[in-house]
Structure formats: structure tokens, C-alpha cells
Amino acid sequence: MKINGTHYRSVWLADDDHTVEIFDQTKLPFEIQTIQLRTMQDAATAIKEMWVRGAPLIGAVAAYGMALAMRQESSDENLRKSYDILVKTRPTAINLKWALDRTYQALENTQHSLREATAYRIANEIADEDVELCRKIGEHGLKIIQSIAATKPTGEVVNILTHCNAGWLATVDWGTALAPIYMAHDAGIKIHVWVDETRPRNQGGLTAFELGSHGIPHTLIADNAGGHLIQHGKVDLCIVGTDRTTARGDVCNKIGTYLKALAAKANQVPFYVALPSPTLDFTVWDGVKEIPIEQRSGEEQSHVYGITPEGTRSWVNTAPQGTFCGNYAFDVTPAEFITGLITERGVCDASAEGLRALFPDLCRKP
């Protein structure tokens, strides 16, 4: 994806071929600052503190974290310890565990002297594959937007609502929910995106930054505005990403997604979820009961980052001193509220049958 005309990925290797570089997403959209990760612990901190975020990206960074660990020390003990530290950094997005399992399984039977090179190879593969999966999601999602555009009088804009940031900053490139939007815009379809602010961490600002960099018309809205817009015919479809999707098609995503899905269903507005297969968790059936929901610091709720007129970043308190704050980072939208899942293999129903038909090689019978 491009920033000021230059193509970037959201994670890459420095010229020395082992230092891992990322954008500090806590500084975006105000400052474009890169951070160098040199140790496994750096990678763990980057994920935990959300310098990087978004399910596919944290999977890729965790894989690079294993490579950094093997560079530091390739013993069995360090392999196990690094896995344990990285897997605990964030509990909800399954891509993290998927990437760590894949790396661990390859390394455990690799001789120590080859572990560092093997781990970098796998991390690079995971990153490259993610770009390709997201590109394919974009192609399949584009067809949905094209079909909605075809029902509109010529020249009328397709209005799409999205929640959180499921763009290239949340993946290695392209994004999941935003990939079809980029492709639709590039294909000449007139689109406009309603961007949910996504409190408490304001990932909507990241989405607005991405869409702005790509020249896509968009409007940042308060999280509570979606129901009103949907009810008044101002939304043609919703597309969101996901951190974990269960065997029966329940979707866990950023807190607030469920409310948008309810409003969409009540008003017969299509609600799509875009995901690469590493986000599928066939070991889980009932998302509401079984998916662990990350709870983060109450300070993220009581405070908000912004930029002052002088251009300095500021951390401002918006709650009475001492208020107890809850900060639930994700919620689960049951499959019945979802129109379809946009995957790299095509679009399917959010159901066990739909997922089984597309992913017979991955699914496990309940």
C-alpha cells in the first residue's frame, strides 16, 4: 500500500536481513514513525502494546519474533519459552497462535544450527502468503460491490460502512475488509466509506488515514451513528474484518461489530465479513461461549490520544478522576446476522456447511 506515493508493507526486514521493521501504529495517523525490532521481547512488546495490531499482522510479527528468538539462542528451551511468551501477548486473534504453531512445528524437528534461517524463511512465507490471501479476498469482495453498484442508477455512489481497521495496517498488505474497497475504487466504481471511529483506541483514524492515502472518499463517524445511517438508507453494505471465526461461522471482531450487525439485519442491509483462512478456528463452535475476549486497561477508555493545535501528541482524560472503566476489546456476532464470509477461496454462507464446502481440507467435524 502506498504512503505519499511510496509502496510499503506493514512489516518488513531491514537491509541487514534480520532486524524487523514496523510502523508504530500508536503514533499514526499523526506521525509516520518506524520501529526496529531486534529481539523476541521487542516483538512481544510490539504486539502487546499494539504498536502493531490487526489479526493477520500480529500473526506475521509473532512469526518474525520466533526468528529473532532463534537468532538470539536456538535451544529447545528458548524455542518453547519464546512460543509461550508470544502466544500470551494477545488472547483473541487466532492468527497469532496459528503463525506460532506453524513456526514451532517446523523448528522443533530442525537442527539447532538451521533454526534461525528456517524461522526467517517461515516468517517471510507467512508475510508473503498474507499479501496473496488478502489480494484474493479483494477480488472476491469486489464482485459483491460490483453487483450492488449495478443495481444503482448510473453515477450513484455505493455507501459502505466499516468498523475498526481491517486494512493494510492490520495485515501485511491490502487488508481484509478494505481490500474489496480498494479494488472497487481502482475499478472505477464510485464508493464512499462510513468509517466507525472505533473507541476506545480509535482504529477508525487508521482506516481514515489509509483511505485518504488512497484517495477514497470517506466520512469518520461516531460509533453510535451506524444504526441511524443504516436505518435511513445511507448504507448499501457493511464489510468488517475478524479476529477469529468459528466452525459454524460466528465472527469475533472489534467491540461494537455486533451492534452494527444487528442494525444491518433489522434493516435488510447486507453484512459481510472478510477473512483469510488463518483466521478460522475450527476447534471452536459457539463463539459467544468459547472465544476469550481480551480486556485491556481502563485507561484506554478514560483517556484518548489526540494532537494539539501546536502539533504535539496529547493523552487527554475524558472521565471523572477515579472512574472505574471497562475495556472489552472484542465481541462476537453470531453467524445468523452475517450475510456472507469473503475468503481467499470465494464467498460462502456463515455456516458450518458453507465453511466446510470451501475449506474441506481445514475443517474438523464437530
| Cα–Cα distance for residue pair 249/339, rounded to 1 Å | 11
Q: State which of residues 28, 60, 144, 164 lies at the interface with ligand MRU (CB under 6 A).
A: 164
Catalytic-residue membership of 243: yes
Instruction: Give min distance, CB of 148 to ligand MRU, in A.
Output: 21
Q: What is the CB-side half-sphere exposure of residue 63 using CA atoms within 13 A?
A: 31
In the shown chain, the binding pattern of residues 9 to 48 toward ligand MRU, with x for contact by CB under 6 A and - for none, equals ----------------------------------------
Q: Tell whether residue 170 is a contact of ligand MRU (CB under 6 A).
A: yes
Q: Which residues contact 231 (CB under 8 A, 6 or more apart)?
A: 263, 267
Give first-to-last CA distance, the chain, whole Å. Answer: 39
| Residue of the chain from 176, 202, 301, 343 that contacts ligand MRU (CB under 6 A) | 176
203 is in an annotated binding site: yes
Beta strands (DSSP E) in 170-264 are: 191-196, 218-221, 237-240, 244-246, 251-254
Query: Interface mask (CB under 6 A) for ligand MRU, residues 80-109, using x and -?
Result: -------------x----------------
> Exactly one of 82, 253, 277, 339 binds ligand MRU (CB under 6 A); which one?
253
Three-class SS state of 82: helix
Nearer to ligand MRU, 102 or 244 (CB): 244
CA distance linking residue 299 with residue 280, whole number of Å: 31
Looking up cell 471465526 gives 245
Which of 130, 173, 196, 243 is an active site residue? 243
Closer Cβ to ligand MRU, 233 or 306, answer by number: 306
Which residues, 316 to 355, sit near ligand MRU by CB under 6 A? 329
- Cα 221 to the center of its chain, rounded Å: 19
The residue (of 73 and 128) whose beta carbon lies closer to ligand MRU is 128
- Between strands 340-343 and 271-274, the pairing is parallel
Options 97-105, 149-157, 239-247, 353-361: segment touching ligand MRU (CB under 6 A): 239-247
* Piece of the chain touching ligand MRU by CB under 6 A; list 116-124, 164-172, 264-272, 303-311: 164-172
**347 forms bridges with which residues in the sheet?**
342
Catalytic residue numbers?
243
Binding residues for substrate: 53-55, 90, 203, 253-254
Interaction site with ligand MRU (CB under 6 A): 53-56, 93, 164, 166, 170-171, 175-176, 203, 241-243, 253-254, 329
